[in-house]
Amino acid sequence: MVSGALKKRAIRKIGPRLYTTNTEDAPEVVIRRNLWQTVSLLFPNTVVAHRTALEAMPTPDGVVYLSGAYTRKMKLPGLTIQQVKGPGPLPGDARFIEGLWFASRGRAFLENLKPARIRSSARRTIERADLEKRLEGILRAAGVDALNDLRDQAATVAPDLEAEEELATLNDIIGTLVGTRSASLKDASALARSLGHPYDPARLEIFEKLFSELSGNEAVSRPSECSPADCASNLAFFDAYFSNYIEGTEFELDEAKEIVFQNKIPARRPADAHDILGTFRVLTDRKAMKMSATEFADADEFIRTLKLRHATIMEARLDENPGEFKTEANFAGGTAFVAPEIVDGTLRRGYEIFRALPDPFSRAAFMMFLVTEVHPFADGNGRTARVMMNAELESENETHILIPTVYRDDYMGALRALSRDRYAKPLVQMLDYAQRFTSLIDFSDYDRALGLLTQSNAFEHHRAMRLLLPE
């Protein structure tokens, strides 16, 4: 039947005993599209093992590793199947597609700790640093119990794999990650955890994206002309008003003015009033705002300053633990922010990147996103992030960045573009426009500033309205 179909060109041969009815696409495309079916047809009753069991895909040069009764290699268009002599299915291995098995996680980690010769193609084990990174990721995502289960699983199959030495190494790595042993580690995230400062590697990648965008961006200097006390006070008021409005603390402008300038706290909403007042107090602390985070002695001082500013902003929200990092995970929409146990370490790693930025605008943008993306507190993260941003600008007498009510969607959209899609340019462009807008407002006179802000649609809520540059 196959021979007849070949003669009629209804099928074609693309490998040993391997045929397809797809006569249009390139053989390598057909094989990759039907990867595991192809492997199961040609290598039945084998186990997907070694690095392939951890990566669940071929190596960059197209190799899939299996464990079977003997060593065997087959080259196909776009794919090489390498069977390594080893045990068949062991306890914990899972049934896979059409006769294939998939190695358990415990087995896969032991196999990847075995010595492997370096070949012209990718070797059958992952690098030690990558293995440590994966273990740290399991601990970060699923906790100590998940690592203990993996260790128990590995201990069960180690005799069949003749991997007692590898089991001892695995125990050393896991023990070092959870703090019960001390072994030399190669991966940065695993080492940071062993030293007590675990961090989120995925967030670090996002911070590096922003760093790259900012480093290649020619920032425009917009020196502040808001030096008189009245000007600084009016600027801080509108900054505090908008920053709280964005977060849902909404007051009529005149009522907010009475809260800030007359300390008139409405009886029905004392906590909301203190949110605005606390933000205003931080922004008008001239000595503190004049100090860039690049001048801090170390990351410890950065953390202390961040907590102190948050404590002032949220001083009336005792239930939110002002000045203390969160103890429970927090979310916004579909975004899960950095887990509580790795907040400190992620902020420290982000701060290390921040210090290398060359100009105040870049540092301000990075600092705001760092605090926003980590979301280290139970509440008040956005307000604290924007204060930290404007402190960087204030420290070098650059114009602040206001985020007016009408600009909220632009602001949130730019944050999402970087956080979810790894696209940094919208954030830089959005903040640049906001600073340009702020630079055109004369804050020395309250009424004049109010008129220009109103003319620019700053207080509008309707999504169809845009933030205009004032005449």
Q: Kindly state whether residues 328 and 264 are assigned to the same domain.
A: yes
Distance CA(36)–CA(33), nearest Å, equals 9
For residue 75, what is the enclosing H or E element? strand 72-76
pLDDT band at 118 (very low <50, low <70, confident <90, very high): low
Domain encompassing residue 27: 2-51+60-89
In 3-state terms, what secondary structure has residue 253? helix
Q: Kindly state whether residues 150 and 280 are assigned to the same domain.
A: no
- Indicate whether 463 belongs to any domain: no
- Indicate whether 105 belongs to any domain: no
- Indicate whether 423 belongs to any domain: yes
Dig out the tokens for 399 from the structure: 């114009």
pLDDT band at 333 (very low <50, low <70, confident <90, very high): confident
Q: Kindly state whether residues 183 and 64 are assigned to the same domain.
A: no
Q: Kindly state whether residues 209 and 166 are assigned to the same domain.
A: no
Q: Kindly state whether residues 212 and 302 are assigned to the same domain.
A: yes
- Indicate whether 462 belongs to any domain: no
Distance CA(173)–CA(419), nearest Å, equals 31
Q: How many CA atoms lie within 13 A of 372 on its CB side?
A: 25
Dig out the tokens for 50 from the structure: 């070694």
Q: Kindly state whether residues 288 and 321 are assigned to the same domain.
A: yes
Per DSSP bridges, beta strands 79-85 and 63-68 are parallel
Q: Kindly state whether residues 171 and 207 are assigned to the same domain.
A: no
Summarised one tens digit per residue, pLDDT across range 223-277 is 998 877 789 999 999 999 999 999 999 999 999 999 999 999 999 999 999 999 9
Q: Kindly state whether residues 230 and 338 are assigned to the same domain.
A: yes
Q: Kindly state whether residues 305 and 389 are assigned to the same domain.
A: yes
Query: Given 33, 68, 89, which residue is the final one in a domain?
Result: 89
pLDDT band at 120 (very low <50, low <70, confident <90, very high): low
Quick one: pLDDT at residue 121? 63
Q: Kindly state whether residues 210 and 185 are assigned to the same domain.
A: no
Specify the number of domains making up the chain.
Answer: 3
Q: Kindly state whether residues 208 and 276 are assigned to the same domain.
A: yes
Query: Given 178, 194, 210, which residue is the final one in a domain?
Result: 194
- Indicate whether 165 belongs to any domain: yes
Distance CA(241)–CA(248), nearest Å, equals 11
Summarised one tens digit per residue, pLDDT across range 59-90 is 999 999 999 999 999 999 999 999 999 999 99
Q: Kindly state whether residues 433 and 375 are assigned to the same domain.
A: yes
Query: Given 194, 221, 245, which residue is the final one in a domain?
Result: 194
